[in-house]
Amino acid sequence: MWWRGPQRSVYGAINPDIDSERKAPSFDVEKLVNLLDGGADRTRTRRSVEHVINSDAVFSRENQYFLTLPERYEAAVKGAVHLRQKMKELGWIEDGPEMKFAFRILGGELAFGIHNEVFLPTITGLGTDAQIAKWVPLAKDYQIIGTYAQTELGHGTYLRGLETTATFDTSSKDFVLNTPEVSSMKWWPGDLGRSANHAVVLAQLYTQGMCRGMHAFIVQIRSLVDHSVLPGIKIGDIGPKMGFEHVDNGYLMMQNVHIPRENMLSRYSEVTSDGSYIKQGSDRINYITMVFTRVRIISRELVSALSKACVIAIRYSVVRRQSELKPGEMEAKILDYQTQQQKLLPQLATTFACHFMASSLEAFCNQVNVQIKTKGDASSLPELHALSAGLKAMISESCGAGVEVCRRACGGHGYSLLSGLPALYTRVVASCTYEGENTVMQLQTARFLMKCLTKVDCGEPLPQSVSYLSEPISLHCSAKEKMDFLKPFMYIEAYKHRAHRLIKDAGIKLQSLHQSGVEQYVAWNSTSVQLARATTAHCHYIVVKNFVETVKLEPEIQQVIKMLCDLYALTGILVNAGDFLYDGYMTGKQLDLVNASQLDLLALVRKDAVSIVDAFDYPDQQLNSAIGNYDGHAYQRLFEWAQKAPTNAKVNLAYEKYLKTQFQSAQSKL
């Protein structure tokens, strides 16, 4: 594939400024590619899938930044249908590695994301075997398109507050769905505004005059014959958003909409024809789906956004030259400025930290899943839930912030959509809100941490990820020179100490408020800022520790990832210096050592920076950036792309209407 070729570019030779960066990497780039992919086999599969996609014009994103909203939507539907077709033709196995890679590569650009990733899994997870047999084949074949209608105009993360009702009607023996208020209309579901003909609707179930809580119902919302909206139903697009231009997020109101009794997803609870409500077993296992979704978001959406932003910004920073660094010499590459290194290279380190964390979390998920399915043992679920909630919050926060740092570090060109960076930002920040608003997530993790503190007091054993809460903790950092901070145990201990202290302090505050007679809910609210911080510190420790453990497992490529691990850990200490100095765990002098050591690392990582981002191995088509291509020809490509902007082709009506006469009158005066 040409974009990996060392000497070729559509503009002739590779830009010499970027070419020289690749001359002598300190590590084997292909080995790092394999590590990131999870093995050389997976690298091969991924590349073959990329080849299929990139050589298919339907998937081309060439003019994406110029399309209107309806054009974006249409292209997304076309692509989704085409991909499904193509996968059949190529004989890719359902949910096999090729298909997974294809969804990962294209998923963010195609329609039916909610259909594939939420509607379908919900039926599989909550439906009976008969329901699965009926709906899943149709859905997999896009003969029906379904949305998942949970969030309402007035309620998001707080599910118990949802207002939509599904009332069992004993005379007609079916459910009647209603949207009682404006605030209770479904709002945000993807694929709803224009595509879906079915919806899984989350509603409060009422039978025999009693509310039975939230349940899921399959509701047909549009005609299969002519796609018209069915009686009693109101649907629309919720209008333009900051990103997700291709998605038809919609609203849904229902007025006395009757659906058959069989349309309640009934694996775990059922309403019989006389209206009796029967709960069968626990739907706790369904939490696993939610956790899986969160983990998938971390690796697929968050880490990939930050890694792309790093590729673009770092490549651009070696072809952009600005100002004299050394008087009288050629202008310097901007990546040679310490301030630019300080912006970008920690983001690169963060990408690796989050990537490895996502892998470990996924492994933990799988393990818990097996425990539950084989032994019915769900004892690890609370720990998994707490970890995934807190990490989703922390990682979405730092990937969002990181992408924006990369974007701004490209100056004016980072503000052009053609750089690819604005789209990465406006996309990734959405994840701070969806699948659980970050602050709510942090406080859920904090609740788990507080329970663990109680266990410590009672001498009960703790889950592995929080076992440090019952361990003795060092009170002072023992570092004496800057090299000491390149020893992983040194910074792991620091992060552990910080998490330990912040969690305990939050616990102490809660307890003392409680003891002074403050009601529990007031105490919780009054401590919530501190609790959220405690969660962040806990997750930060977990991420650092996990990074260090990964480094140990990879002897072949250790040096480069160790360097990134050190950079991640030391940057975190500097950014959160107050936490480490607060109780004298570190001294100002030690912080100076961290500082010095971090600056040394910047200079080291700088040398390999281009090769490291090359190892993310994105084809240019996936970056879709005029300034981040492999060949380094940023200016030529910006110019070429800009000329294609539709505004350059159209007649200037504003001139004709408002300016022409005035301008002509100036002719005689000049």
When the beta carbons of 44 and 451 are compared against a second copy, the nearer one is 451
Residue pair 184/163 in contact (Cβ under 8 Å)? The answer is: yes
Of 14-22, 286-294, 546-554, 650-658, the window that binds a second copy (rule: CB under 8 A) is 650-658
Task: List CB contacts of 650: < 8 A, sequence separation 6 or more.
Answer: none
Torsions phi, psi for 234 (to 5 deg)? -120, 130
512-518: list long-range contacts, CB under 8 Å, 24+ apart: none
Q: Give the C-alpha separation, 404 to 428, whole Å.
A: 10
Contact 578/486 with Cβ under 8 angstroms? no
**Phi and psi, residue 180, nearest 5°:** -70, -35
User: Does residue 460 have an active-site annotation?
Assistant: no
Active-site position among 362, 435, 493, 640:
435
Q: How far is the CB of 523 from a second copy (least distance, A)?
A: 11
CB of 276 vs a second copy, minimal distance in Å: 27
Q: How many residues does the chain have?
A: 670
Task: Rule CB under 8 A: say whether 132 interacts with a second copy.
Answer: no
| Other CB atoms within 10 A of residue 182 CB | 11
Binding mask 281-320 for a second copy (x = CB under 8 A): ---------------------------------------x
Binding range to a second copy, per CB under 8 A, among 46-54, 120-128, 376-384, 528-536: 528-536
Q: Which residues pair with 120 in a beta bridge?
A: none
CB nearer a second copy, residue 426 or residue 621: 426
Exposed, middle or buried, 565 (CB in 10 Å: 0-12/13-18/19+)? buried
Rounded Cα gap, residues 181 and 186, in angstroms: 11
> What mask, x for binding a second copy by CB under 8 A, covers residues 16 to 45?
------------------------------
At 252, is the secondary structure helix, strand, or coil? strand
Min separation Cβ 600 and a second copy, Å: 11
User: Burial, 647: exposed, middle or buried (Cβ in 10 Å; 0-12, 13-18, 19+)?
Assistant: exposed
Stretch touching a second copy by CB under 8 A, among 34-42, 48-56, 203-211, 412-420: 412-420
Residue 264 beta carbon to a second copy: minimum distance, rounded to whole angstroms: 16
Lookup: tokens for 585? 């765990």
d(CA 354, CA 392): 10
Between 273 and 652, whose beta carbon lies closer to a second copy?
652
| Token representation of residue 75 | 């292209």
Q: Of 31-39, 466-474, 483-491, 577-585, which segment contacts a second copy by CB under 8 A?
A: 577-585
Write down the least CB distance from residue 635 to a second copy, Å: 5
* Residue of 56, 481, 519, 556 that binds a second copy (CB under 8 A): 519
- Identified binder of a second copy from the candidate list 65, 101, 175, 616, rule CB under 8 A: 65
Count of residues of this chain found to bind a second copy when the rule CB under 8 A is applied: 134
Separation CA 590–CA 436 (nearest Å): 38
- Strands 165-169, 174-178: pairing is antiparallel
Stretch that binds a second copy, among 89-97, 136-144, 467-475, 535-543 (CB under 8 A): 136-144
- Contacts (CB under 8 A) with a second copy, residues 242-261: 242-243, 248, 251
Q: Which of residues 328-347 bind a second copy (CB under 8 A)?
A: 331, 336-340, 342-343
Collect all residues with Cβ–Cβ distance below 8 Å to 78 and sequence separation of at least 6: 58
**Residue whose CB is less far from a second copy, 49 or 196:** 196
Looking at residues 162 to 221 of the shown chain, list those that interact with a second copy (rule: CB under 8 A): 182-183, 185, 187-188, 193-195, 197, 220
Choose between 432 and 610: whose C-beta lies nearer to a second copy. 432
Tell me the closest approach of the beta carbon of residue 425 to a second copy, in angstroms.
8
- The answer to whether 473 contacts a second copy (rule: CB under 8 A) is no
Q: How far is the CB of 23 from a second copy (least distance, A)?
A: 23
| Cα distance between residue 590 and residue 587, in whole Å | 5
Among 60, 124, 293, 433, binds a second copy (CB under 8 A): 433
**By CB under 8 A, residue 475 contacts a second copy:** no
Helices (H), 55-168: 69-90, 97-106, 113-114, 120-126, 129-140
Kindly tell me which residue out of 216, 257, 349, 418 binds a second copy, with binding defined by CB under 8 A: 418
**Of the candidates 99, 229, 230, 638, which one interacts with a second copy according to CB under 8 A?**
638
Tokens read off for 668: 């005689």
Residues 371-410 that bind a second copy (CB under 8 A): 404, 408
Q: Does 124 bind a second copy (CB under 8 A)?
A: no
Q: Tokens 């602050």 identify what position? A: 439
Q: Which helix (H) or strand (E) holds 98?
A: helix 97-106
Task: List residues with catalytic annotation.
Answer: 435
